[in-house]
Structure 1
Amino acid sequence: MTSVFLSYSRDNKPIADRLYHDLKRAGLSPWQDTDLATEIQWGQDIRGRIEAADAFILLASPEAADPARYVVRELAEAERLNKRILRVWVAGEAGQLPAAWTERHMIDARGRYWQALPKLLADLGGQAVSSPRDLIADVPSLSAMADQLHGAVPFRAAGHSLVRVPVVPSGYGMGWLVGPADDPLPDMTRGLLPPIAVLFKFTGPEHDDSLAEVVQYLVSVGRTPWVVYVEGPKQMGENRVPKYELPNDGGHVWADQVELSERAVREWVKGRHQGMSVFFHGPNPLAFAVGSRLREMLPYELLHYPRGQSRYTTVFGAANVK
């Protein structure tokens, strides 16, 4: 079994976690540092893991390129040991990465994870991995799909047993599919989801009730609680991140969230807007940016930008949750 060392910045943990599960599902043996203390004593343990690995995967991003991070040291150790190194570009622009990284071949996974994954597996000799949509025809329920994809989070809300499955990763966030754990899956290969809600959560505490309240709203209006849930960096806030238009000091994080939001919606909604409600939990400038991308999928008259100070603001389709 091919062993793989995953080297990444903690800022890029969403896509690192998804890749870890997919490498395992493909018959490989990946390792990441989730079992180690937050303050890693970079020494014999990490060096030993790199030395024992058959391949070294670098998740390239502006944060990973920071000389103060462990990624740079891990890469140097892999180069010293003459390890096979594969570079996966997960965030940022070429000018934000070291020239030594961009001058060599990188698999571009920015906003196209499910297109990049087969290329990486071909280089590693792993088994082909289907996209989430391709898995639908072979599983009877969302919980069965979760078993195949791994990384799912079960929870209860409004009297329903639900499961949250990570399906659309990006450098800084994750798009989840949420629905009843054991109900038969709709024919999603033809885009036939029941009326669905989309929750964009770009800021706030890691464990809050955002998703549960949206589920409660769907149940209260008689809808099956299917949700596309797009989650962004927890530290993103009005006073911490510059305006979306600015290219420096976090602009690439905002751009990543806009791309993730559009792709997560396209993956499951496929242009169908009938009965769909959208909620934002985060800075209004980001909601404006996401809304401009959604406009391609929706009749213009159905799209309204969020205003005011409400915790959740409906963009179109239904009344505010709060």
Structure 2
Amino acid sequence: MAETASARPQVKRLRTRQKLDKTKRRIREAKEMVISIVLFLAASSSVLITAGIVGVLIYESIAFFRDVSVIEFLTGTTWTPQFANPKYGILPLVSGTLVTTAVALAVALPIGTIAAVYLSEFAPFVVRETIKPTLELLSAVPTVVYGYFALNFVAPVLQYLCSFVGIELSTFSMLSAGIVMGIMIIPYVSSLSEDAMRSVPMLLREGSYALGGNRITTAINVVIPSALSGIGAAYILGISRAIGETMIVAVAAGMQPKLTLNPTEQAATITAFIVQVSLGDLPHGSAGYQSIFAAGLVLFSMTLMFNIAGYVLRRRYHQAY
């Protein structure tokens, strides 16, 4: 009986401890569930926002296409929604968008990639830690500042240079806008590409050095192919950033919808037209106003196609290597 009496407090303490452990476990599980829900909502928010944007574009575009033929919209070569006899051919805006983007990529991709290779493979630590933050400051400059930089500095310089070869260049041109757009997206390309190259294991570099490769050979034949997924992501981000740029082309490209592939001429892009109409030049609810949603849907589709193409190319490359 004495042993039983002495064992009762121990049993009671054991049961109390078990209850406390169970309570703590339930509290921990509840916290984990709340955290899981918050993380799920955060992860799905981008999907929901994208779906909302697409829904708005499609809904408003349907109202536009009740008045305008889809075939005329996609194949027409005249874009004059503000005229008495409006025309809604999107091709002039698409050509202006693609030309300015091509000029920007011709500037940003080579310079950004070369800068990434230098920072990753050749630059000393002190130089890399100085140049990279300085280069990334370019992405912090407001785009309207880039626009006036293109208009007041780059355009006069290009006019002076073109005069030597007999080319007349207007103050407003896709060339000056595209060059400045390329300067603007260099930090995106160089920073992400450099991060991808730095993540390549050092063993791969050492294996190349052991086989007699020098630093440039290792960078071209080992590091860049191994980091192609990250470099491709940087390129896609640069393309998407160039296609969606607004203020630079609105200030420096000319705002004249013209079907041309000549970068020395003036043109309007899809984003520049959206800005122009959003300022109130056309009444709300009219076909001209609703055309900005149809143009936005085309812009979204172009960006989506570039992202899908980049994903397919990266996947094929990984399969090949």
Q: TM-score range by the shorter chain?
A: under 0.3
TM-score under structure 1 length normalisation? 0.20
Q: Which has the higher contact order (CA 8 A, sep 6+)?
A: 2
TM-score by length of 2: 0.20
Q: Indicate the structure with greater helix content.
A: 2
Going by fraction, where is strand more abundant, 1 or 2? 1
